[in-house]
Amino acid sequence: MKEFEDPSKTCIYIPPGHAGFGSQSHSEYDDIEEDECYDLQMRAYRAAWMKCLDRVRTILKILHGPAVSDIVAQVQNAYNEDLPGLPYPELPVVALSGATTALLSEVISALSEDENAEEGADERLQVHLYPAECSSAMNMMKAIVTGYVDRKESGKRKPTSLASFDINLLRACMHIPHLPLVFLLVMNSPPSPSFIHTVYPRSTLALLRVQQVAPPAGLLMVKEVLSKTFFDPDFEPDVMLGPGALDHITDFASRHTASPDALLTMLQLAYMKHFSIPLSIFAHDERDAGRALTSSAGFAPVVDAVHARLLAASGSQPQNDGGGRPQTAEELCGAVCAARMEFQRQTRRLRVAFTVARIAERVALSDGTQGPVNGKAVDGRGSRLDSLGTLSAILRQRGSSQVRYVCLAVGKLSASKLRVLLQELHAFWYGLQSVVIRREEEEARIWIVEMLNQLPSSLEEGSMDGPPVPLDTHTKELAGSIGDWLQKYIEQRLVRLEDCTLWDIWYTGATPFPSELINPAPRPTVVQALLHPDDFIRAYGGLAHGPDQTAPALDAGKELALWELPDASIAFRRYVEAGRMVNVFDWFESFAVVLDSQRRHLKRGKGVMADEDMDAEADEDADTDVEQGEEEEERWKVEEQARFMRALHELDYMGFVRHTGRKPDHVIRTFYDVPD
């Protein structure tokens, strides 16, 4: 493959057929169209994931804003507000708990911008310390002192008798009367109990003025990111997460960790799993896929899959399939484009309705008397619409009971609360950024203006916090009509996205989250892959090409012979049969026996020439065959040695062998379990 000669490639995709079982040919995976389909999937994945990643980073930056501002303010005012009467000066320390790489970059950037913005102020320099530089107090002091001095001194430093780890070197080289140092400590431990207050003695803590800062984290952060990424009307991701992925993310955040890094990892894994199917080439831009369909005949399975789904949807939704089976690639892309536009319209309506329901719930149930809806059930049947578990419940159409309860509460609101509700809904509908959504919600925008005009003109502003006032007839009827209209409006839009045509291109649905990638158990997985590689190749074929698109030699239930396995698996099988010390030459001899058997089987499989042809050419080629046979045997011996060395290096790289200086021709096993 030409990719091996490209030094810019950090990762190369090799389809299962190219990896090979022995020297067998799997024509189903050997076509170049396999690589073309994979490249299209990767392009669509990168575009969709970068769009989602930029959105998540923007949300996290907004969430981190208060913490970053707090840190900058503490650094600025560290020596401006000294407390009088202290027995000795205190060293300002800012303890930042639960920081991510993105947050640290924002803090460093904010401090740098603050330094450049204040002209005429004392220059503030930054030195970044890492664990490797803090192995001892002397090394840490040297890193601090030289970090400041080397940055301050532009030319060659003048010789001095002070050591590089002496704090007085800063005064001598930088000409400053005192050292206004501020330490920003990045803590892996939670803010409570504080690691600093737990480990350091009171005599040390008396010299420190510790200020703790904790950025937003936990379930509130996860809910904010998921809500504003997949349920915000002003943002439309290329791929919508389904309840399967959302449930796993919610469960993982509740049971294990709810850090931003873990959330980003799970979102990326969900996207990677979705883009492992060939139909995902249409997820971002169907025009790229359309050009590939017209230029290559290797996309026939993809075309057939799209046709099958269009045909299945034509019975219930004939308006979405273009009126029949598309005959050309342009017609097929047109049908996919129409399905995408319809899916996006349904998801926009769902996001808007869900936001409206949350606004109504916040206003109608803000007094805290929630009754049965104060539960914490994750399935949404007894939880608030503003909870994390309701995100997947809405997609499963399990939030209808809470929606009806909220609309019933709206029907009993006072005139003052009705005005608050209508004003918030008015601000939401008229504040939508998308022109398309504003056009689609034109009827709701007109309705909200009519309802505001029907409210009584004179309302006491303090009546919301005062005792309940009996509703007059007009207000009661108006509140009831508003509640009924909201219930109808919301329920019509909270539909199942699986009912849309070709929904699995832009929606993960109930597809299980690849949880094995979060905790992959690499050791037993590698051992099983070496012992039974056919199971892994068969699983990959079913994942990437469908359950019916596996290689012919990988039939389910068929156990491959030893000679049919890859070289690394053959060497590992012989490895587990040896003792603690493995003689490399004996290992090679047992490996070569299997390769000889593989060679005979492959020659027998290719067949021989017809008998009449062999008889005609036997006398003519007899002498030539002897010479070629010797050369072929010599080449075969060299090939055996090369293949064994490659398999040995692969097992060595995976950590299964350990070299010893006592016996150069022996290696020590590192795996002693009895394989299944």
Does residue 624 lie within any of the structural domains? yes
Where in the sequence is the domain holding 211, given as residue range(s)?
A: 84-219
Which helix (H) or strand (E) segment is 519 a member of? none
What is the number of structural domains in the chain?
3
Cα–Cα distance for residue pair 222/251, rounded to 1 Å: 11
- Do residues 340 and 365 both lie within one domain? yes
Return the closest-CA partner of residue 479 out of 538, 553, 534, 408.
408
- Do residues 237 and 187 both lie within one domain? no
Residue ranges in the chain modelled with pLDDT below 50: 1, 11-33, 116, 119-121, 316-323, 368-382, 460-466, 546-553, 608-614, 616
Long-range (24+ apart) CB contacts under 8 A made by 671-675 are 671/527, 671/575, 671/576, 672/580, 673/527, 675/527, 675/531, 675/576
- Do residues 336 and 263 both lie within one domain? yes
Q: Which stretches of 296-440 are DSSP H helices?
A: 300-314, 329-364, 390-395, 400-410, 415-430, 435-440
- Do residues 316 and 458 both lie within one domain? yes
Does residue 457 lie within any of the structural domains? yes
- Amino acid identity of residue 291, one-letter, is R
Which helix (H) or strand (E) segment is 582 a member of? strand 581-583
Question: pTM score, two decimals?
Answer: 0.69
What is the structure's pLDDT at 421?
Answer: 95
- Do residues 647 and 601 both lie within one domain? yes
Does residue 207 lie within any of the structural domains? yes
- Do residues 337 and 478 both lie within one domain? yes
8 A C-beta contact, residue 306 and residue 336 = yes
What is the structure's pLDDT at 440?
Answer: 92
Does residue 28 lie within any of the structural domains? no
Among candidate residues 219, 236, 259, the one where a domain is terminated = 219
What is the structure's pLDDT at 114?
Answer: 58
- Do residues 493 and 613 both lie within one domain? no
Q: Could you write out the three-class secondary structure of 232-244?
A: CCCCCCCCECCHH
Spatial CB neighbours of 676, under 8 Å, sequence gap ≥ 6: 528, 531
8 A C-beta contact, residue 97 and residue 191 = yes
Does residue 273 lie within any of the structural domains? yes
DSSP code at position 1: -
Does residue 10 lie within any of the structural domains? no
What is the structure's pLDDT at 189?
Answer: 77
- Do residues 266 and 356 both lie within one domain? yes
Cα–Cα distance for residue pair 381/405, rounded to 1 Å: 11
Cα–Cα distance for residue pair 74/197, rounded to 1 Å: 20
Cα–Cα distance for residue pair 281/45, rounded to 1 Å: 8
- Do residues 212 and 236 both lie within one domain? no
Does residue 284 lie within any of the structural domains? yes
What is the structure's pLDDT at 632?
Answer: 87
What are phi and psi for residue 383, nearest 5 degrees?
-120, 160
- Do residues 163 and 289 both lie within one domain? no
Return the closest-CA partner of residue 566 out of 604, 523, 536.
536
Structure tokens at 504: 């699995």
Give the model confidence (pLDDT) of 559-581 as tens digits: 788 888 999 999 999 998 888 88
Does residue 111 lie within any of the structural domains? yes
Name the region of 249 (left: φ>0; alpha: ψ -120 to 50; beta: rest): alpha
Among candidate residues 219, 244, 267, the one where a domain is terminated = 219
Among candidate residues 219, 244, 260, the one where a domain is terminated = 219
What is the structure's pLDDT at 298?
Answer: 59
8 A C-beta contact, residue 207 and residue 196 = no
- Do residues 376 and 492 both lie within one domain? yes
- Do residues 231 and 195 both lie within one domain? no
